[in-house]
Amino acid sequence: MSVAQRERAALVAALRAVGPDAPTLCEGWNARDLAAHLMVREYRVDAAPGILIPRFAAHTARVQDEVAGQTEWDALVGKVASGPPLYSPLKLVDSVANVAEMFIHHEDIRRAQPNWEPRTLDADLASRLRRTLGMMARLTLSKMPARVQLRTPEGETVLTAGRGPAVTVTGAPEELLLFSSGRLARVEFSGDAAAVRAVQEAPKGL
């Protein structure tokens, strides 16, 4: 089983544990909505482009609402568990494209529940997320209102992005990945207070 498949299995287990009405960290989505998003992303080639392209977002939202409202919960989660079908472009790149996707959405479920704590990740998952971090953060942090430096607790600078006053964000690579995608993350900020606040409040994500 690949790293992406293992993280998908963990996400599916979390979905089944919390149930369809549980909150998530995706604004306006419960667990059913999140599962519908994942199904649309992999099974509905006609609607998936709207996840990233604003021009098609309204169609994607309509399809996702239909999937969430008309698909029985166990069947919906079963589709997520099965992974991308043969006709999906994601099938060819599952081991590359889906590691971060499954991890981030797994944490969207976990961190919306009471008393959550960061997981201890296995070495393979941690390594793959570390490699994904640089590529993703270059896209998501390029318009930051400060010069943001991502740094690990060991003092390694992973990436510097944006322009303006310097702000350092320190955390484990997986936490920096979550921060860079606009999620709740265990990170520490240093720099001018106003610049830090601007970075914290700035929109992130693709």
DSSP run (H or E) holding 91: helix 89-92
Domain of 194: which CATH number?
Answer: 3.30.1050
Domain count, the chain: 2
Domain boundary among 84, 110, 136: 110
| Pair 88, 135 in one domain | no
| Pair 99, 128 in one domain | no
Q: Note whether residue 28 is domain-resident.
A: yes
Across the range 28-39, mean pLDDT stands at 95
Share of the chain above pLDDT 70, in %: 93
Q: Note whether residue 116 is domain-resident.
A: no
Report d(CA 17, CA 149) in Å as an integer: 37
Interval 66-109: pLDDT, tens: 989 999 999 999 999 998 888 777 666 677 778 999 999 999 99
Interval 183-202: pLDDT, tens: 999 999 999 999 999 999 99
pTM of this structure: 0.91
| Pair 137, 102 in one domain | no
Domain boundary among 80, 110, 140: 110
Cross-strand bridge partners of residue 89: none
Domain, as residue range, for 148: 123-201
Q: Tell me the residue type at 63.
A: V
